[in-house]
Structure 1
Amino acid sequence: MTEDHRTCSKLLPLDVAAKHVHSSALVSDVVKDLGLSVVSFCSIETAIGKALREVDDQNIASNQSITTIKTRLQNQLAKSASVLSQEIDIICTEHRLRLQEQDHSFTESKAMYTKRQQELEKVLKHGSNNQVFIMAHQMKILLRKEEAAFINNCNKLNNIEIHFPEDQHISSIPSLDDISIEKIPLTIIKKFSNAQVADNVRHNDSVKKLYEHSSIAYESRPCIRGLAVTKENNLLMCHENESTVSKCSQYGNIEQSCIVGGQVFNICVIDETNTAVITLPSKNLMQFLKYLPMKVEKTVNILPNSLGITLYKDKLVVGGKQRIQFFTTDGRPINIVNVNLDSTSAISYLHPCDDRNRIYVSCESLYEISDNGKSVIKHSGSSIPLSHGIITDRDDNVYVASKNSIMRLSREGIVLNDNLLKTRLFGYDEIWALAFNRTYTLMYATTRDGYALEIFDFK
């Protein structure tokens, strides 16, 4: 019947059509379609619910991923920032160290120039016109020599400025390539005056005379064999029998003493330091000592029975028998040079010969030797065969001590004065060491075979 209704094309009256409607195809199809529609809507509703949950899940997962990415990026940025900070710290630290080194160098230079200033003020106040001129001339030559080096050092002074790029130009992860470091010169103006200065000044030391100033007897500390003068104009004395070195005022008053490692014969100071070096012949040693304050330091082996010592072109030279030995100023051996002298005694005193690569040595007679030992000149004179201490003045004249006499020779070896000492009733007996003070106004001589110190005005 239902199938008949699906295929019936007749227009029937309502009462006829409605007859048996419950079993008709119409109702059957409508019921089925509605059921299928409800099922479809349920399926759609389920699908939409599932999609909504998936959206929510993806939202949560995406936020978690974003948080993870954020954390990772933050870690990367923090790490990059830390690396960049360390690199900048290294740059700043290195620049700071350079500035500190330059500051230390300029501080030392300042101290040196302040000392020169004080020395000049002292001479201006108490010195003669000649002394003022000589010191001013020496300092002007030094300043002229140092001007270029000073300007060069000033030009090396600079500071740094660190520049970061603007926000729109910076990369997501910054590095040292993203910043620029600019050197900013420090503007320093220093100009030396243009006073006219002669290259050389003759001090006329060759015509100056010795006048007795004072005499000090050291009966309790006899046998003064070595003398040296510090840059502060203190006198250093070696008391051989007492194994003692004393620091004195420029007029011979003992201010401080120290016991050294054995009988001490000779001494020299290392310029621009607070260090002196002595010979200990009985121990075959030389010993370093500080004189501000007095304190003994290391010892170094030297040739047997070596007596004399001097500073020659930034090297220590020690005199032995027919040989001289060279050391660095910190005591490292350099070489030994054989010297053909008439005497087989040890060289007792040495002194550098101005700029001629030669050294004066005293070994019973006065010799002038080359620093390689190949050239030996023996000087003659009535007092020279008994020679001891040797010094030179500012005009390179040579002074040699002997018994009751101090001889003066020119740099060419011509005897200018056979004996600078005035005759006195009892004489000076054996004279050993000689020394000038730093301003060449006083000469020191150990007389009476080392039992006394004679101080002469040199004018």
Structure 2
Amino acid sequence: MLLDYYCTDHDIICCRACISNEHRLCQNVLPLELASKDVRKSALFNDVMEDMTHLITTLNALDNNRQSNLQSMEETKSAITKQIRAVKSKFLKQIDDLERELTTTLSSLQRKHEMEINKQKQEISQVLVNVIENKNEMDFLIDHGSKNQLFIFLRQQVTNIHSAEAKIQQIVSNSQEFDITFDEKKDGKLESFGSLSEFVQPCQVQYKPKKFQQAQIKAEPMKNIVGFEKDTELKLKICEEYAFRDVSVTDDNKLLFTNAASSDPKLYVYRDCKDYETEIVFSSAPHRVAVIPGTDRAVITLPYDKSIQFINTTTMTKDNTVNVGFTCLGIAAGRDRIYVGDTGGTIKTLDTNGIVLKTILHGLRCIDLIVYDDLQDQLIVRCYGKLLCIKVDGTLVYSKDVSGVAGVTLDRQRNIYFGGFETNNIQRMSTDGENCEEMLNKDNDIYRPYEMCFNEDFTKLFVINNCYTSVCVYKCKYL
């Protein structure tokens, strides 16, 4: 499965399956897009780059040292051989056997240490090649890779760097600089020419690992939203008919609004969640809109056409249309699945190309709205008078009685926020459906609220208000 999340409690990158199996109780699980934000400016990026450079420098120095030792031993052998021959010239009649013995011993010593040094050179070359390959791949990802790819690669390099450091420490501790000297026999006896001595000293190149700093400052525990403060109302275009049905936010912080007014069926786009940018016109009224996470695509339901329409959120142009075979209303999207609900209580699961994979027949009322909880891998469904939690295989987790039908959204901890169109308030419910509290009401200018969503960093809440005609912006208050 895709690595989609970063658990700050365990400092580990994980997938959706790991979240549900091993991190269900963790309070600080971030989407990978949020964890990898500004990764090129992070301490992780700088530490890995510095450590790679340090490793390459040390490995090159070690290789040069080993090569220099080989050359010095070769020169030593040549010098000693000349000494032996000088002695030989004094004792021509008695030196043949002694010369062969000493020369053989010298060659044996030479071969023994040469084999050790060459073995170490092979180990050095192997580590050096691996580090250079990782450095080249890092350079490529810096220029061409996505934030997710770079972040995942950096995390992998922590292990690779530790492994390289351990290998270098082993090589350094096992490396010795060998030398051979010849002691000429001074007493004139012909028992031998002299003796050969080995001198061993530690390698002059030493490796001191740089203290590995944790790449990314460990994220602080996620704080709970304790309340909201009215900020402003979104400035809308004048002289247009508005009947807002849905609001969603893209990964690059653009707000998308569907306008189902019969005379003006459009999707409005606001950059930075505040300034009007453009609009897309449809032949029939769009109802719901869902952004496909980690992509530049969104998908919209067109109930009168029994179809869904894909949108490119970078160019803000319409893409292909897919007929889903029923009057589709609610829609939600995960990274690899799209969930569409209809007026008869049916939910269809599609892939991100619009191909139907599975149909769930729940016999519910009209499924007006669906939200996908990626951490729990379940759907929050809003019908008239009901709020339901359903697993993606169709199993009902729980059902709650609520007032009328209105919007639903999730905060960072996956608490559920739902509107009361008839009660003029917005409530928050825990992810298990056990605890519920009122967060906004008439005192906060909430009147006939419908759909809502948070911005990309969960600092603001956008609420379609006043019977589908305006958009109120509320600042989130944290502890």
Whether 1:147 and 2:132 are equivalent positions in the alignment is: no
Residue among 288, 301, 314 paired with 1:292: 314
Equivalent position of 1:112 in the other structure = 147
Bigger Rg, structure 1 or 2: 1
Residue among 347, 351, 368 paired with 2:371: 351
Residue among 252, 257, 261 paired with 1:237: 257
Equivalent position of 1:339 in the other structure = 362
Equivalent position of 2:390 in the other structure = 369
Equivalent position of 2:125 in the other structure = none
In the TM superposition, residue 220 of structure 1 has moved relative to its aligned partner by 1.1
In the TM superposition, residue 272 of structure 1 has moved relative to its aligned partner by 2.3
- The structure where helix makes up a greater share of residues is 1
> What secondary structure, in the 3-state scheme, does the structure 2 residue paired with 1:418 have?
strand
Cα pair distance change 1:359/1:192, threshold 3 Å: farther
Give the partner amino acid of 1:333: V
Matches within 5 A, 1:80-95: none
Equivalent position of 1:394 in the other structure = 412
Equivalent position of 2:349 in the other structure = 326
- The structure where strand makes up a greater share of residues is 2
Cα pair distance change 1:419/1:200, threshold 3 Å: closer
Residue among 206, 230, 242 paired with 1:222: 242
Give the partner amino acid of 1:389: G
Q: In 2, are the aligned partners of 1:340 and 1:373 still within 8 Å (CA)? A: no
Unaligned ranges ≥5, structure 2: 1-135, 164-209
RMSD of equivalent CA atoms: 3.4
CA–CA distance in structure 1, aligned partners of residues 412 and 296 of structure 2: 23
CA–CA distance in structure 1, aligned partners of residues 256 and 419 of structure 2: 18
Q: Deviations over 1:216-244 (max 9, x none)?
A: 36461411111111111111111112221
CA–CA distance in structure 2, aligned partners of residues 351 and 225 of structure 1: 15
> What secondary structure, in the 3-state scheme, does the structure 2 residue paired with 1:282 have?
helix
Give the partner amino acid of 1:367: L
Cα pair distance change 1:104/1:314, threshold 3 Å: farther
Whether 1:267 and 2:289 are equivalent positions in the alignment is: yes
Identity of aligned residues (%): 23
Q: In 2, are the aligned partners of 1:252 and 1:453 still within 8 Å (CA)? A: no
Q: Deviations over 1:26-68 (max 9, x none)?
A: xxxxxxxxxxxxxxxxxxxxxxxxxxxxxxxxxxxxxxxxxxx
Cα pair distance change 1:147/1:102, threshold 3 Å: closer
Cα pair distance change 1:450/1:406, threshold 3 Å: same
In the TM superposition, residue 215 of structure 1 has moved relative to its aligned partner by 1.3
Cα pair distance change 1:423/1:198, threshold 3 Å: same
Q: Deviations over 1:409-444 (max 9, x none)?
A: 1112134322423515xx533211111001000000
Give the partner amino acid of 1:457: K
CA–CA distance in structure 1, aligned partners of residues 300 and 157 of structure 2: 35
> What secondary structure, in the 3-state scheme, does the structure 2 residue paired with 1:412 have?
coil
> What secondary structure, in the 3-state scheme, does the structure 1 residue paired with 2:443 have?
coil
In the TM superposition, residue 273 of structure 1 has moved relative to its aligned partner by 2.0
Cα pair distance change 1:355/1:271, threshold 3 Å: closer
CA–CA distance in structure 1, aligned partners of residues 377 and 148 of structure 2: 30
Cα pair distance change 1:149/1:296, threshold 3 Å: farther
Equivalent position of 1:165 in the other structure = none
Give the partner amino acid of 2:388: Y
CA–CA distance in structure 2, aligned partners of residues 108 and 388 of structure 1: 43
Q: In 2, are the aligned partners of 1:430 and 1:449 still within 8 Å (CA)? A: yes
Equivalent position of 1:423 in the other structure = 443
Q: In 2, are the aligned partners of 1:227 and 1:433 still within 8 Å (CA)? A: yes
Cα pair distance change 1:456/1:328, threshold 3 Å: same
In the TM superposition, residue 327 of structure 1 has moved relative to its aligned partner by 1.1
Equivalent position of 2:66 in the other structure = none
Cα pair distance change 1:376/1:412, threshold 3 Å: closer
In the TM superposition, residue 371 of structure 1 has moved relative to its aligned partner by 1.0
Give the partner amino acid of 1:315: R
Q: In 2, are the aligned partners of 1:303 and 1:325 still within 8 Å (CA)? A: no
Whether 1:447 and 2:465 are equivalent positions in the alignment is: yes
In the TM superposition, residue 325 of structure 1 has moved relative to its aligned partner by 0.8
Whether 1:406 and 2:426 are equivalent positions in the alignment is: yes
Cα pair distance change 1:287/1:196, threshold 3 Å: closer
> What secondary structure, in the 3-state scheme, does the structure 1 residue paired with 2:467 have?
helix
In the TM superposition, residue 195 of structure 1 has moved relative to its aligned partner by 5.7
> What secondary structure, in the 3-state scheme, does the structure 2 residue paired with 1:194 have?
coil
In the TM superposition, residue 113 of structure 1 has moved relative to its aligned partner by 7.3
Give the partner amino acid of 2:265: S
In the TM superposition, residue 379 of structure 1 has moved relative to its aligned partner by 1.6
Unaligned ranges ≥5, structure 1: 1-99, 115-141, 156-189
